Amino acid sequence: MTAAAQLPAADRTTALVASVEDLKVHFETKAGVLHAVDGVSFDIADGETVGLVGETGCGKSVTARSFLRLIPTPPGKYAGGSIKFWSKEARANGSDPVDLLSVPTSDILDIRGNRIAMIFQDPGKALNPALAIREQVAEVFYQHRSDDLLAEWNGNPPSVIRRAAGQRSGKLEWVAMKFPPLRSQARRLRKRVDDLVGEALAETQIPNPRKIMASYPHELSGGMKQRVMIAQALACNPDLLIADEPTTALDVTIQARILELIRELQHAHQTSVLYISHDLSLVRRICDRIAVMYAGRIAEIGTTNEIFHEPRHPYTRGLLAAVPSFAHERGKLAAIEGNVPELISPPASCRFHTRCEYATEICRRIDPVLDGHGIGRSVACHGYVSPEELGVAAADIPRLDRSPA
Amino acid sequence: MTAVRDEPLAPEPGVDSAPVITVRGVRKYFPIREGVLQKVVGHVRAVDGVSFEIPRGETLGLVGESGCGKTTLGRCIAGLTDATDGGIYFRLAESDRLFLDEMDAVPEAERTLQHQARIEAIDLAHRIDRMKGDSWRSYRRNCQFVFQDAFSSLNPRQLVKDIVGRPLKVYKEASGPELTDRVVDLLQSVGMGRQHLYRYPHEFSGGQRQRISIARALALEPEFIVLDEPTSALDVSVQSQILNLLHELQQERGLTYLFITHDLGVVRLMSDDIVVMYLGEVMERATASELFAAPRHPYTEALLAANPDLLEGDEEAEMRGLEGTVPDPARPPQGCRFHTRCPAAIPQCGWEVDDAVAWLADNSTTLDELSGVERASEFDAAVRFRDSDAAAEAKALLEGPEVSAPMQGALLALSASGAELRIQFTEVDPVELEDVGEGHLTSCILHTSRSTHL
Amino acid sequence: MVDSTAPGTTLAPAVSGPLAVRLRRAGELSREVLRNPTTFLGLIIIVGLITMAALAPVLTEPNTPDAYQMPRDWGAINEPPGTPGHIFGTTSTGGDVFYGVVWGARTSLRMSMIVVGFTVVFGTAMGSIAGFVGGRVDEIIMRIVDVLLAIPELIFALAIAAVLGPSFANIIFALSVVFWVKYARIIRGQIIHVKQNDYVDSARVVGDSKFNIYRKDVLPNSVTPVVVQATLDMGGIVLVGATLSFIGLAEAGLAEWGVLVSEGQAGISSGRWWASTIPGAMVFLWALAFNLLGDGLRDVLDPRTGGR
Ligand SMILES: Nc1ncnc2c1ncn2[C@@H]1O[C@H](COP(=O)(O)OP(=O)(O)OP(=O)(O)O)[C@@H](O)[C@H]1O
Ligand SMILES: Nc1ncnc2c1ncn2[C@@H]1O[C@H](COP(=O)(O)OP(=O)(O)O)[C@@H](O)[C@H]1O
Ligand code: SF4
Ligand code: SF4
Ligand SMILES: [Mg+2]
Ligand SMILES: [Mg+2]
């Protein structure tokens, strides 16, 4: 566990990287408005890894993509809430966060890949098949770190080279750089890019980075491609890395390696990570805190320890019990019967009530709220609320066995 | 539940004890074609000499990384693909199997006429690619398949009733209202119902589609079902529903399963015996409890380490993975196929010229100067460079401290002459599966009889 | 996928029969197609044109003995549109342009239905054999298709029609020879793709016959692009057919739009625009309408653009 998980409340705002508040994302569909994400709130502290788990279709990817405004609109719509983001500078000089949902598009483009990076489930689709690996990783340096490219330049680099480092060269300049006296300088720039790309790849423990740089995506295995994606994502030293099921398409043996790598690099770079997965045993390995999502809502948040050893929400308990393990007898696996409910005009009720063994009448009538959402522990279930607060009889409160399942 | 019917194909007396499926030395090679003329330039050895039996009413788990040949083997067993070599037998009696094993040792020319006649008789009655007419139809009914991808295994233009009722129609078992009733029975046995009859597959979730697939597989009351990763596309909560259902059905109907998966948690829960495959070969085979308690193969250990149990062990436990990737199945490694990635490898594991070349490619730039390789065998080759410096450098590197000790230990000779570097490794025979006690088979030479010669 | 019909819940609607389900689906699909205004426009035009073709004997007095021959009124040549009895005017040979437009719609409909009908059936059959049987057979069929495809449609049809001599029947024949290859190619590609689906293998496991697998699994999942192409060709064939008639490969005097355009073109320079422009506009309208409908169908049906 890193220290971030137990941050004292007073430090909360200063140490945050991002804070999602009441995020709502809706989709226009033929059948009606689909509430894919419906009031999600959680924080990510500096240097912390937060896991987001839940069944297919519960809104994990939509939440993640909202950070970078990657939801296609239409049919999608940011229907409410905010995602506050503190960059390193903002944290250093105590200035206000930006709201990722409302900043101008040009700012979001600058934040993407630079301050917030994302790796996806299918590395094959995220890489351009027509470009060599070198070009794809170099792209990040050109786009966001052109100053670094010129950092070790002795003397003042000519403006042509400055523009080349930012990929802003005109046609004429390209031609000019093929001839002396600019040629040697252009070569130096290229060598510098090569060095940085090589370093970034080497950091992901790819064997022989120089050879990989010259290859094309189809020549690499899935695990290698995912390493390239990670190199690309971490090249700019982002404040936040969003990993959306980065190992789902990989074999278990490779998956373990990639997970280890993400963990190491995260420690080395002090990057915060939002790690999305449907696999509980994976998030347990890598996350400080875990948010369990169900049907567009957060069901429960807590430290990894709390979630695994003292799960409170019936859904969390069900998920944990359903993982086949040494403790089970054949045919006696605990299952959560039924399916995820319809997300089109969801009624005011606990979304889990159709599958919850503890559900009572009030669960069908009143929508439970997540009791606070800071760095602490919270759960959205009536079983943990006093009858006075809800204004119902004590007998109506779901009686959960409060000790861990 | 389905109405009780006469067992359509009552097994012959004495067959009850015979394994439902016997796989003997099955190979499946896919040709690799190249160029305009589509010339065959090599073969992908998807399955390369696999043998096992599945006793009646039991579940055999088949695990391994992707691409190691699990699905291909499953398809061969289900008769969807013809095996290149070896035989798959249905209800092969113990005595017949022993006879066939005996005959394998006898060269074809030395077999007597009686021997040949008996082999022929066994093949016609039990070997699935030799069966004709009724016995083939009987096998077709008794062996069903559940596919991994519940989305592509249901015809999107057919209603659930037509999908589940199709096998009954094909064998003219029912029609009209009776067919509808039978289909409703089947749907109910997988936890669905009459209200789902007239819907299209796209109206269902992944878990429900998998239930429909299972209902279809049950329609002909088969003895044996190949389950190809039936839950790997599903969420844990739904996965446990399906796994419980499969177990229940097995109990009720005495089904025999071949359960293919890459998830060790699932395979341990579901199987009686487990076969671990790597690059088309069986690495290890044992009962489920034995395999998990005392794995005897580094590959099995690696799979276990990469799949730490969720509820036991502490969080910070290392989740070890494996370096490198699965080698090209068209050119599998010599000796033990796992040696390129094995953390426990020793010099006797089958190191070869390709390993040295691959190491140079990953750790240096000397191969940029490569001009050709001339092989005397997999273990002995002359590597030619464009200049003698590169050859010398490669030699120095291979002798250097960075090369893994087992590989260096296997190096017999390394001699540079001009621009040519001759690399010679100790020749090693392919490893063989051996019983290391109580039916626990492993191919790792650290545990087999070869270990005494190490 | 979310679904309210989980096992154990009873939210499912009352049982409905297979026919009702199929009709409902067809209804949904057609509503989806028609939601696009341009598709709807295309359909309206097509319905109008077909109605006109159907009502031809009512709208005009059929010529005897052959209604498809233009009647000639030598007393009224080069009358402008609006003349009583000749609302679209007449040609330089006294042909009523309105008669030509109305009966030309029939000719066009006949031509496109015969050609599309034949080419779809024959092309699908050849493509199916190639794709489903594979191997040698596939190679032979596809070589023929490749050769035929290498020749531009219009030139190929023109060559055949020219060799056979000027007659409308020959034009239909020529078009049929030319257009089937497209369908063969489309359906073969689809079948090779569809064959790889697990549902084809699951039908094999169940033991169904090859023909049943083709009929139930492979063909129904392969035909949508053919439907789209056939709709587009209903328009395209009239365009090519009219071109062939225009250059004189049909019998003179036939009530056919291309023939009319060809007859009337001489008058354009002297200001008699109607005799060729009105039938020309009909050709354009016909081709446009089927293109609009075809595009709309493609958007909804073709899996590659996201529909079902
Ligand atoms: N472009 C879109 N148009 C319509 N609905 C969408 C779109 N993208 C997502 N959705 C819906 O939003 C919901 C949440 O989707 P999301 O992809 O976030 O799920 P997930 O938890 O990531 O699932 P998985 O594990 O399958 O990736 C789903 O019901 C999904 O169908
Ligand atoms: N039809 C085919 N043609 C060529 N190679 C194939 C074919 N089917 C499978 N293979 C190859 O056979 C090997 C084993 O495949 P498969 O049995 O599908 O693996 P698994 O199910 O274990 O993931 C792979 O290398 C795969 O690429
Ligand atoms: S609120 Fe009620 S239905 Fe929802 S999880 Fe808690 S007990 Fe179950
Ligand atoms: S024989 Fe055993 S030790 Fe040697 S490579 Fe194979 S698994 Fe590893
Ligand atoms: Mg997702
Ligand atoms: Mg597989």
- Each residue of A211-226: pLDDT tens digit? 888 888 888 878 888 8
The torsion angle over the Cα atoms of residues A73, A78, A82 and A83, rounded to 10 degrees, is: -40
In sequence order, what DSSP letters do the residues of B127-188 get, joined into one string?
BTTT--HHHHHHHHHHEEEE-S-TTTSS-TTS-HHHHHHHHHHHTT---HHHHHHHHHHHHH
Q: What is the pLDDT of residue A9?
A: 43
- Closest C-alpha among B391, B398, B396 to residue B356: B398
Nearest CA to CA, how far is B340 from chain A (Å)?
14
* Closest by Cβ to A253, choosing from B248, B268, B303: B303
Ligand nearest to the CA of B335: 4
Amino acid code (one letter) for C201: D
Q: What is the pLDDT of residue B283?
A: 95
Q: Which DSSP category does A295 fall into?
A: T
CB atoms within 10 A of CB C58: 9
**For B169, which residue in chain C has the nearest alpha carbon?**
C208
**Sheet with B380-385, edge to edge strand ranges:** B370-377, B380-385, B420-425, B411-417
Question: Do residues B234 and B31 touch, judged by C-beta distance below 8 A?
Answer: no
**For B155, which residue in chain C has the nearest alpha carbon?**
C199
From first to last of its 308 residues, what are the pLDDT tens digits of chain C?
334 333 433 333 444 677 888 888 888 888 888 888 999 999 999 999 999 999 988 888 888 888 888 888 888 888 888 888 888 888 888 888 899 999 999 988 889 999 999 999 999 999 999 999 888 899 999 999 999 888 888 888 888 888 888 888 888 998 898 889 999 999 999 999 999 899 999 999 988 999 999 999 999 999 989 999 999 999 888 888 888 888 888 887 888 888 888 888 888 888 888 888 999 999 999 999 999 999 888 888 764 443 33
Amino acid code (one letter) for A155: G
Instruction: For chain C, say whether B166 makes contact (Cβ under 8 Å).
Output: yes
Instruction: For chain C, say whether B189 makes contact (Cβ under 8 Å).
Output: no
For ligand 1, the distance from its centroid to the CA atom of residue C6, given in whole angstroms, is 19
Chain C residues with beta carbon closer than 8 angstroms to that of A339? 2-4, 6
**pTM for the predicted model, two decimal places:** 0.82
Q: In this model, does residue A316 exceed pLDDT 60?
A: yes
In angstroms, the CA B432 to CA B441 distance is 10
CB atoms within 10 A of CB B398: 21
- Note if the bond before B430 is cis, omega within 30 degrees: no
Ligand nearest to the CA of A75: 1
H or E element, residue B353: helix B353-363
The structure tokens listed for C161 are 């029609």
List the residue whose alpha carbon is closest to atom 31 of ligand 1.
A57
Q: What is the pLDDT of residues A279-304, one digit of tens each?
A: 888 888 889 999 999 989 999 999 99
List the residue whose alpha carbon is closest to atom 6 of ligand 4.
B336
Q: What is the pLDDT of residues C95-123, one digit of tens each?
A: 888 999 999 999 888 899 999 999 999 99
Q: Is B298 in the pocket of ligand 4 (CB under 6 A)?
A: yes
- For an interface test with A, the pick among B68, B232, B235, B247 (most A C-beta atoms closer than 10 Å) comes out as B235
Report strand pairing: B273-278 vs B59-63: parallel
Give A 325-354 residues with CB within 8 A of chain B: 325-328, 330-337, 339-340
Question: Do residues B101 and B258 touch, judged by C-beta distance below 8 A?
Answer: no
Nearest CA to CA, how far is B1 from chain A (Å)?
19
From first to last of its 454 residues, what are the pLDDT tens digits of chain B?
344 444 444 445 455 678 999 999 999 999 988 877 778 888 989 999 999 999 999 999 999 988 889 999 999 999 999 999 999 999 999 889 999 988 888 888 888 889 899 999 999 999 999 998 888 999 999 999 999 888 889 999 899 999 999 999 999 888 889 999 999 999 998 888 888 889 889 888 888 899 999 999 999 999 999 999 998 888 888 888 899 999 999 999 999 999 999 888 889 889 999 999 999 999 999 999 899 888 999 999 988 888 766 545 555 556 677 877 788 888 899 999 999 999 999 999 999 999 998 888 888 888 888 888 888 888 998 988 888 888 888 888 888 888 889 999 998 888 888 888 899 999 998 899 989 888 899 999 998 888 777 7
For ligand 5, the distance from its centroid to the CA atom of residue B321, given in whole angstroms, is 24
Chain A residues with beta carbon closer than 8 angstroms to that of C9? 338, 354
Cβ-defined contact of A322 to B311 (cutoff 8 Å): no
Q: Which DSSP category does B257 fall into?
A: E
- For an interface test with C, the pick among B198, B225, B234, B235 (most C C-beta atoms closer than 10 Å) comes out as B198
In angstroms, the CA B130 to CA B260 distance is 25
Instruction: For chain A, say whether C306 makes contact (Cβ under 8 Å).
Output: no
Q: Which DSSP category does C78 fall into?
A: S
| Global ipTM | 0.82
Nearest CA to CA, how far is B154 from chain C (Å)?
5
In angstroms, the CA B150 to CA C22 distance is 22
Average of per-residue pLDDT values in chain A: 82
Q: 3-class DSSP state for residue B425?
A: strand
Give A 239-268 residues with CB within 8 A of chain B: 251-260
Instruction: For chain C, say whether B265 makes contact (Cβ under 8 Å).
Output: no
Residues composing chain C = 308
List the residue whose alpha carbon is closest to atom 5 of ligand 4.
B339
Instruction: For chain B, say whether A77 makes contact (Cβ under 8 Å).
Output: no
Atom number, ligand 2, closest to the C-alpha of residue B75: 17
How many A×B Cβ pairs under 8 Å?
Answer: 136
Mutate to test the pocket of ligand 2, among B28, B47, B71, B72 (most ligand atoms within 8 A of CB): B72
Q: 3-class DSSP state for residue A6?
A: helix
Q: What is the pLDDT of residue C7?
A: 40
Report every protein residue that has its C-beta within 5 angstroms of ion ligand 5. Answer: A 61
Q: What is the CATH number of domain C35-63+75-305?
A: 1.10.3720.10
Continuous H helices in C129-206: 135-150, 153-164, 168-194, 198-206
- Note if the bond before C71 is cis, omega within 30 degrees: no
Cβ-defined contact of A337 to C3 (cutoff 8 Å): no
Chain B residues with beta carbon closer than 8 angstroms to that of A324? 239-240, 243, 263, 265-266, 268-269
Which chains does B contact via 3+ CB–CB distances below 8 A? Answer: A, C
- Closest C-alpha among A297, A228, A238, A308 to residue A266: A238
List the residue whose alpha carbon is closest to atom 5 of ligand 1.
A27
Mean pLDDT across A16-41: 89
- For an interface test with A, the pick among B257, B278, B292, B319 (most A C-beta atoms closer than 10 Å) comes out as B319
Q: What is the pLDDT of residue A7?
A: 43
Ligand nearest to the CA of B442: 4
For tokens 């057979």, name the residue. C137
Residue of A389 and C302 predicted with greater confidence: A389
Chain B residues with beta carbon closer than 8 angstroms to that of A221? 325
* Closest by Cβ to A340, choosing from C2, C7, C8: C2
Phi first, then psi, for residue C98 (nearest 5°) are -60, -45
Please say whether the dihedral angle defined by the alpha carbons of residues A256, A261, A266 and A272, taken in this order, is positive or negative: negative
For ligand 2, the distance from its centroid to the CA atom of residue B69, given in whole angstroms, is 6
Domains of chain C, residue spans: 35-63+75-305
Distances (CA, A) of C261 to A396, C53, C100, C245: 84, 19, 10, 9
